[in-house]
Amino acid sequence: MVVHVACVAFCWVNACTAKKRTLPMPKKGNPAAAEGEEVPSKQRKTGPSAVPTPLNFTSPSSLFQSLIAPLGLQEFFQEYWEKKPLFLQRSDPGLATYYQSLFQLSDLKALCGQGIVYDRDVVLCRCVNGKKNVLSKQGRVNYSQLKKDFEQKKVTLQFHQPQRFKDELWQIQEKLECFFGALVGSNVYITPQESQGLPAHYDDVEVFILQLEGEKHWRLYEPTVPLAQEYSLEPEERIGSPTHDITLKAGDLLYFPRGTIHQADTPVGVDHSTHLTISTYQKMSWGDFLLDVFPSFLFDSMRSDITLRAGLPRKLLTVASPPPGTTKQLCSFMRDLADKMERGQLEPHSVGMKRDFVSNRLPPYVQDDLAFTPAGKMPALEDLVSMKFVDHILVTVEPSEEITDEAVELVVFLLHSLANSREDHMMGNDAEEEQKHGSRGLRFALSHLPALRQLQSGERHLVANLQLDQDADKLNLALSLWSEGLLMVC
Ligand SMILES: *[C@@H]1O[C@H](CO)[C@@H](O)[C@H](O)[C@H]1NC(C)=O
Ligand SMILES: *[C@@H]1O[C@H](CO)[C@@H](O)[C@H](O)[C@H]1NC(C)=O
């Protein structure tokens, strides 16, 4: 079979509908509003942080583990994840100092110098008598003006996606995206004394709140929509009394599941509060997965099953009540599809969700972009090789062209996030719209799937032992991965 190897930034095939990144809530304004504004200067490497980190960056799970310490991973997922809030009160000065180093009010001065703009990067809001007021502003942010609004109008400064500017947050969120296998966004909220930024509401994401500076008083309420799929305000009279009434101090962490109603204010006697909201698992439910997998699965079944291609009863769409047996017939089709899947006659392929993740996530945290270029010895048949950045690649199986009635050739894509833009992370510039930031990858004939799965496991393999028939194909595969900066000779 002919091997297609193409090192191109291709646009999405079968991409799910264009959607704006809205993590975390409240929903961000239309990024187009900031059009024409220059993008803040390219990332500035701030160098190694002077504050010792209590986080363990060895692996994605050690990072998450150290974030929720002293609680264990297993206990977290059994007791709290998607179930109930978790409040970790630390009273640890070392941790407080580290959290403060992640982002603080005074950082805004330097950031204003870099050219941040209202709406895209910063929103000013204040909740008065249960109503949200947004101080509408446009253009470049002037630090002394910002300070003035903060002190005199008591607005909350909501800073979007600070991982674009702060290396430590880039490193944390990149590891969390590996850990969850899902996009991870963040916002910073800075609220002055005796003020509240947002009214009681709930979000469609799992959130981790890190208290960075000062203190914040939080009230959480029983969800009206458990595991909510949308952001929503909740009127005071519907929320009842709080299930949790707590005050976070620097170094503390609070987790709560999507749907948890919450509101927070900076108490009297605290100069200001700064917290970071890290959020994940937006549209990552079983239902979302079914939506992704089912249409192409059904389409494939229609090609092999004439009963699915048989016409509907006449006037089914227009009659007042469908003929008897309609529901029964639909159920029978669905059962039949499930049976086919179970017997392995047809394989479900997730493409939209996979591509969405790989093309919008953070690139690997590296000190030097040279880490992404091919390096070291070129692989030969007798070499032992392994994948680099194995947490940043995934494999999809897709039709080679537009789906038609004829049997179509399936191909394999190996996609990676090495060329993704840190500056655009979670900013709503979907990779689909901005082709220059589209996910990068390689395309192979379906016969390469077993060999790709071998390599994706992260283990070392002899090129000669890759599961392909011809030696030339084995070598070609190794060379194309090496050229893309994804493979090294051990
Ligand atoms: C960090 O995590 C790794 C892997 O789990 C572990 O081996 C190591 O001991 C941890 N380091 C610290 C300082 O806890
Ligand atoms: C920022 O705003 C202040 C007034 O609040 C003004 O005096 C100053 O010139 C402005 N700075 C810049 C760089 O525009």
Complete domains list, the chain, with CATH: 2-280 (2.60.120.650), 291-342 (no CATH), 352-489 (3.90.930.40)
Residue 14 has pLDDT above 50, yes or no: no
pLDDT in tens, 90-102: 999 999 999 999 9
Going from the Cα of 115 to the center of ligand 2, the distance in angstroms, rounded, reads 14
**Do residues 383 and 462 make contact, with C-beta atoms less than 8 angstroms apart?**
yes
Q: Is 144 in the pocket of ligand 2 (CB under 6 A)?
A: yes
Measured between alpha carbons, how far is residue 59 from residues 62, 73, 216, 335, 369 in Å? 5, 14, 31, 42, 20
Q: How far is the CA of 157 from the centre of ligand 2 (A)?
A: 18
User: How far, in Å, CA of 475 to CA of 464, rounded?
Assistant: 8
CB-CB contact of 272 with 213 (8 Å): yes
Query: pLDDT at residue 357 above 60?
Result: yes
Shortest-distance Cα residue to atom 14 of ligand 1: 56
pLDDT digits (tens, 9 = 90+) for 466-480: 999 999 999 999 999
CA–CA separation, 91 and 170 (whole Å): 26
Residue 58 CA: which ligand is closest?
1
Of all atoms in ligand 2, which is nearest to the CA of residue 148?
5
Mode of pairing for the β-strands spanning 410-416 and 8-9: unpaired
Mean of pLDDT values over 332-358: 92
The tokens for 481 are 């991965």
Separation of CA 91 and ligand 2 centre (Å): 40
Beta bridge partners of 247: 217
In this structure, which residue's CA is closest to atom 1 in ligand 2?
142
Assign 159 a pLDDT band (cuts: 50, 70, 90). very high
The region of weakest confidence among 9-23, 97-111, 257-271, 370-384 is: 9-23
d(C-alpha 447, C-alpha 306), whole Å: 28
Report how far apart, in Å, the C-alpha atoms of 242 and of each of 103, 226, 246 are: 29, 16, 10
Helical spans, DSSP H, in 181-223:
none
Mean pLDDT confidence for 247-253: 98
- Its sign, for the CA torsion 275, 278, 282, 284, is negative
Residues 425/160, Cβ–Cβ less than 8 Å: no
| Higher pLDDT pick, 367 / 285 | 285
Nearest residue (by CA) to ligand 1, atom 7, is 58
How would residue 16 be classed by pLDDT, with cut points 50, 70 and 90? very low
Is the bond into 70 cis (omega within 30 degrees of 0)? yes
Q: Where does the pLDDT of residue 11 fall: very low under 50, low under 70, confident under 90, or very high at 90 and above?
A: very low
C-alpha span between 445 and 251 (Å, rounded): 51
Specify whether the CB–CB gap between 111 and 280 falls below 8 A: no
Q: Looking at per-residue confidence, does 212 or 26 come out higher?
A: 212
Quote the ligand 2 centre to 143 CA distance (angstroms): 8
Atom of ligand 1 nearest to the CA of 59: 4
Ligand 2 nearest atom to the CA of residue 140, by list position: 14
Average pLDDT over residues 448-464: 96
- Answer whether 140 contacts ligand 2 (Cβ < 6 A): no
Question: How far apart, in whole angstroms, are the C-alpha atoms of residue 253 and residue 355?
Answer: 32
Please tell me the distance between residue 113's alpha carbon and the centre of ligand 2 in angstroms: 12
pLDDT at position 454, please?
A: 96
3-state secondary structure of 450: helix
For residues 346 and 466, which has the higher predicted lDDT (pLDDT)?
A: 466
CA 156 – ligand 1 centroid, Å: 38
- Alpha-carbon distance of 397 to 446, in angstroms, equals 8
Residue 486 carries which side chain, given as an amino acid letter?
A: L
Q: Which residues line ligand 1 (CB under 6 A)?
A: 56, 58-59, 62
Q: Which residue has the higher pLDDT, 376 or 171?
A: 171
What type of residue sits at position 177?
A: E
Q: Which ligand is nearest to the CA of 115?
A: 2
Angle between helices 326-343 and 286-304 (to 10 degrees): 90
Distance 190 CA to ligand 2 centre (A): 22
CA-to-CA distance for 166 and 173, rounded, in angstroms? 11
Q: Average pLDDT for residues 201-212, to the nearest whole number?
A: 97
What average pLDDT does range 209-236 have in this prediction?
Answer: 94
Of 137, 145, 150, best ligand 2 pocket probe by most atoms within 8 Å of the beta carbon: 145
User: pLDDT, tens digit, for every residue of 360-390?
Assistant: 999 999 988 788 889 889 999 999 999 999 9
Q: Find out whether the beta carbon of 152 lies less than 6 Å from any atom of ligand 2.
A: no
Determine contact, residues 267/247, Cβ cutoff 8 Å. Answer: yes
| Separation of CA 56 and ligand 1 centre (Å) | 6
Q: Which residue has the higher pLDDT, 49 or 390?
A: 390
Say which range, 20-24, 95-99, 332-336, 459-463, has the weakest mean pLDDT.
20-24
Alpha-carbon gap, residue 446 to 351, rounded angstroms: 15
Nearest CA to ligand 2 atom 10: 142
pLDDT at residue 347, rounded to an integer: 83
User: What is the percent of the chain where pLDDT is above 90?
Assistant: 77
Coil, strand or helix at 191:
strand
Interval between CA 136 and ligand 2 midpoint (Å): 18
| CB-ligand 2 contact for 145 (6 Å cutoff) | yes
pLDDT of residue 111: 96
Residue nearest to atom 10 of ligand 1 (CA): 56
Instruction: Tell me what pLDDT residue 25 has.
Output: 38
